[in-house]
Amino acid sequence: MTRKIDIFDTTLRDGEQSPGASMNTEEKLVVARQLLRLNVDVIEAGFPISSPGDFESVRRIAELAGDQAVVCGLTRAVEKDIDAAADALKYAKRPRIHTGLGVSPSHLRDKLRITEDECVERAVKCVKYAKKYVEDVQFYAEDAGRSDYDFLVRVIQAAVDAGATVVNIPDTTGYSLPEEFGRRIKYLVEGVRGIENVKIAVHCHNDLGMATALAMAGVKNGARQVECTINGLGERAGNTAMEEVVMAIRMHEDELDAHTDINTREFCKASRLVSSITGMNVQANKAIVGANAFAHSSGIHQDGVLKKRDTYEIIDPADVGAGASQIVLTARSGHAALKHRLEELGYELEGEALDQVYEAFLNLADKKKEVYDEDLESLINERDRNENALYTLEAVQVSTGFPLTPTATLTLKDVEGVERTVCEYGTGPIDAVYKAVNKIIEVDNDLAEFSVQSVTRGIDALGEVTVRVTAEDGGIYTGRGADGDIIVSSTKAYLNALNRLLSDKRAGRA
């Protein structure tokens, strides 16, 4: 059986300290319910002395959690802080007081202005005072990542001897390198008497982008609790992201001799919830829960994933509640990805037909960041419209503006492959184009309706134009055209309507 690693969530305490991410009590309760669904081991519900709202949040979350999770309140190494935490936790089934102080030269000299001996004395005093209220006391050695190794051993030894059940070794500023932080944890494991009877916790910040790596180094070297937040929320650059560290432990369970009891299928739901409540958006390329975490746009990657998912995905998206892998169609996508998506939409294309659509797809993808299902539908429809057309559009160019006269130069090809180019003026660019079309396709008609709408979202969306023309016998013919250029869409739509009219006329139906 591998070592159980406790997951200590501090989204409601350290996470909430992220500028702009504060939550009221009701919002904290909503998040706490989600943390319980995740099956976290410890919920750090707040800093009770800091405000009446934080006190109330800790009190209500303590009642909510029942036996399912430890509920923790943060304090400084100050008796009134500990009193407030104990009062807020008095109805908790599994209460924990989290108390401590800074231990680095910077904190001792510049912040606390005390000696090393005074620091040790305060550590012992705050742990013993908290033990009067609860059995489960966690001691934090703030800024341990920049502390002297031997002094850190001395402080932690004192806290353990005083009755601490958990000792928290934070890299408060995210300063450490993973290898060095791992050595620090190992030094404590080897240097503190009785350390095997308490849990070593790590609390790492992301100032250098290494919070998860630091936490993993701690686990590898003996830590049995990781303090983390949903989405890596936290002060400055944030904390260790719960979803990242939990999935890293799962991926390397044998190597680390470690596991967690987290219900990982709740990760994406938790991520969206915290993002919604705090207003802190998750970057698209965020590991595990980002919008692009399981999205593939490279043709080589798409081909591999379609053949066997784990060629480019080490995590099954369903395991973190992300649904399925996403094949994102872009200019880098290959035939395999396009064929797969078309088949999902119900189109079976092979050989030359697929090549034709792929060529049109690439032309569109060069103009757009992403090609959507609606775009593909339009491409297929365009292909079908052109397949039996009597005239096809080869080129169109428009000059317009103020005080210029709108002018259209147009080239059409007939079924025999003969091209014809004309130039016409009009009251506007569409009028000029349609007059040019009429000059080549000599069939009487009146434009009865013209409408345009975007096929998909975004400023780079395809525009689909629908026109209706009335023939001299009163028959109405509808034409559609889609393209990223509205002039081209309009020309294709009008041409499609006239091709239909002309076909009926030649067949004697008009």
Mark the binding-site residues for Mn(2+), compressed into ranges. Answer: 14, 203, 205, 239
Q: Where are the alpha helices (DSSP H) in 66-98?
A: 79-88
Report which residue type is found at 127: V
Question: Residue 476 forms beta bridges with which residues?
Answer: 470
CA distance 324 to 234: 29
Burial class (CB in 10 A: 0-12, 13-18, 19+), 324: exposed
Determine the 3-state secondary structure of 227 from DSSP: strand
41 touches 261 (CB < 8 A): yes
Residue identified by tokens 């943390």 is 35
Q: 178-191 and 149-162 helices cross at what angle (nearest 10)?
A: 50
Question: Residue 163 forms beta bridges with which residues?
Answer: none
> In terms of Cα–Cα distance, which of 123, 52, 47, 56 is closest to 85?
47
> In terms of Cα–Cα distance, which of 455, 435, 456 is closest to 498?
435
CA distances from 449 to 44, 163, 484, 488, 493 (A): 64, 84, 21, 17, 11
What residues have CB less than 8 Å from 232, skipping those under 6 apart?
206, 211, 238, 239, 240, 241, 244, 286
> In terms of Cα–Cα distance, which of 184, 141, 134, 188 is closest to 163?
134
182 touches 217 (CB < 8 A): yes
Q: Which helix (H) or strand (E) holds 486?
A: helix 486-506
Residue 136 structure tokens: 């489960």
385 touches 399 (CB < 8 A): no
Report which residue type is found at 221: N
Residues belonging to the binding site are 14, 203, 205, 239
Question: Residue 99 forms beta bridges with which residues?
Answer: 139
CA distance 443 to 363: 32
Determine the 3-state secondary structure of 335 from DSSP: helix
